[in-house]
Amino acid sequence: MAACSFRRSIASQLSKVLDLPPENLIKSISAIPVSKKRCVADFQLSLASITKDTSSGCLAQNLNLQAQKLTEKLKCDAVVSEISAGPGTVNFTINRELLAKTVLQQVLKDGSEYGVRSELFSRVPRQKAVVEFSSPNIAKKFHIGHLRSTIVGNFIANLKVALGHEVVRINYLGDWGMQFGLLGVGFQCFGNKEKLQSSPLQHLYEVYVQINKAAEDENTKKLAQEFFRKLEEHDEQTLSLWKQFRDFSIEEYIRIYKRLGVHFDEYSGESFYQEKSQEVLKMLEDKGLLQKTMKGTGVVDLSEKKDLSSLATVMRGDGTSLYITRQVSPALFGAVCVDLAAAIDRMNKHSCDTMIYVTDKSQSNHFQHLFQILKLMGYDWAERCQHVSFGLVQGMKTRRGEVVFLEDVLDELRSRVMQNMAATKTTKELADPMETAEKVGLAALIIQDFQGLLSSDYQFSWARALQSRGDTGVFLQYTHARLQSLEQLHGKEQITDVDVTCLQEPDAISILQHLLRYDEVLYRSSQDLQPKHIVSYLLTLSHLVAVAHKTLPVKGSTPEVAQARLCLFQAARCVLATGMKLLGITPVSRM
């Protein structure tokens, strides 16, 4: 990795002056973000990160003085051409020709692995991670929260795989519970076998809406309870109908996820853990953790003082069913029995190092309780379970109104992008305009979603998401397509030997400096699992490329200059494409 060799060289010189091991210094040396206003150095050492003297009231002043003194002791060499002191920092400028040569060679050599081979990851052990995401409820709306869970979970899984970890992607379906009693009765009244086969999600939702109108009717309630009781008792006919609901729904989900570029290694669900939930209740009872309330509800006391001020419900009061909802509702607050069974089963089955659950932040308490109970049960690995939460999205409506199905969103994105593309002259030349529109639309959705902190709520805007200029997914796709056509126009073969003295213009240096930072950005995202660092990086890269495209033309330049610039643009496209794929975006070649 280009940045690594430079960091090591700087750390080596610093270690002699500071009398510290070079490895202690490497993480304190970071690439400086590119500035639009001025030329900046390439790396800086933050004195605050290596100084022990934090007690002084004049800390900032001391650090500035230390930076000045340290700068005076350091010397330029074949790698570093300039050293200067900043506010509490020492700044290093790399020899410009060496910068260009090293960065371009490294990007083109490593390809899609550029950045992940960095020594920043050398001490990170390779692990096995289970990531649970998407998790829609059969027969209910695939609401926007499920869409966020799908794209966030996919990003986390992609990032972990890119960094060399083993990942098991699990889709944990809401496929059990009293609502299936109601759905079963509804299907007996309003169901249609052909529609169930051809459009299961739509049809089951329509049936559920219809039967829900009669849900308060005593007779309907009785029939629903009876259907669900048969389901729990594994009545052959009832179970067969439920299995059709589940199997046809999964088939359709797989087809829709394919449009998103998302896949799962395992389709699990609440139905898998009904019997294992019994075992969990027995374990809780044996360990003296299960308590009964006056109403007969099974709870676990999670309060510090053991005064029942913080409870997790693990069994309903009537004791007739072990159905525990994953949706934390007021009626069954924090009921985690099925999730306990699922977590224990997964750990036994996969022997993973970490388990990550991706859901909206309203379920934070639920997962806090889940991990607490696992710890109380003696499972130390609960410490390695993580809930990645995200905020709510407002304003996601299609032209037909409120979003009910994921496919509605994908169709809407595609049709809006198709409309925009129809206005441009290049669209007519595309082999498959609909497929391109889908990829561009998905990029628009993902970038708008990933720009802020995942835990923040945000207002979705079709107009903002689909702008072709500015910080949007459409702009990323446009930049990639533009770079691709530049390569096709001037020769597709990879350039290996270029005259780097032709890449000394400020706009070329800015791109090289930015490419230098990629490993740090990946490292940051790997630490907090936030995609916004990568999004911000790719948008900046695209803006730098847009400027350089104008100021550093390939056409009309001398062969040496044209080759060097083409190589620079090739490296930028390679990193742009790799970053986009991590986010779950398929880069387009034309649009």
What DSSP string describes 279-339? HHHHHHHHTT-EEE-TT--EEEE--TTSSSSSEEEEE-TT-S-----SS--STTTT--HHH
What 3-state DSSP class applies to 468?
A: coil
Please give the Cα distance from 350 to 382 (Å, whole number).
15
What DSSP string describes 62-102? HHHHHHHHHHHH----SSEEEEEEETTEEEEEE-HHHHHHH
Q: Is residue 561 within 8 Å of residue 568, measured between CB atoms?
A: no
Please give the Cα distance from 250 to 134 (Å, whole number).
12
Element (H, E) at 268: strand 266-269
- Would you call 366 a catalytic residue per the annotation? no
Q: Is residue 98 within 8 Å of residue 509, measured between CB atoms?
A: no
- Would you call 295 a catalytic residue per the annotation? no
Annotated active-site residue in 140, 230, 369, 549: 140
Q: For tokens 């400020």, what's the residue?
A: 506
Radius of gyration from C-alpha coordinates of the chain:
28
Structure tokens at 182: 């109601």
Amino acid at 481: A
- Would you call 146 a catalytic residue per the annotation? yes
Q: For tokens 């003696």, what's the residue?
A: 378
Residues 29/33/39/42 CA torsion (nearest 10 deg) = 30
Q: Is residue 405 within 8 Å of residue 142, measured between CB atoms?
A: yes
Q: Is residue 523 within 8 Å of residue 120, measured between CB atoms?
A: yes
List CB contacts of 50: < 8 A, sequence separation 6 or more. 18, 20, 24, 25, 28
Annotated active-site residue in 101, 141, 143, 165: 143
Pairing of strands 385-390, 166-173: unpaired
Annotated active-site residue in 141, 146, 203, 543: 146
Residues belonging to the active site: 140, 143, 146
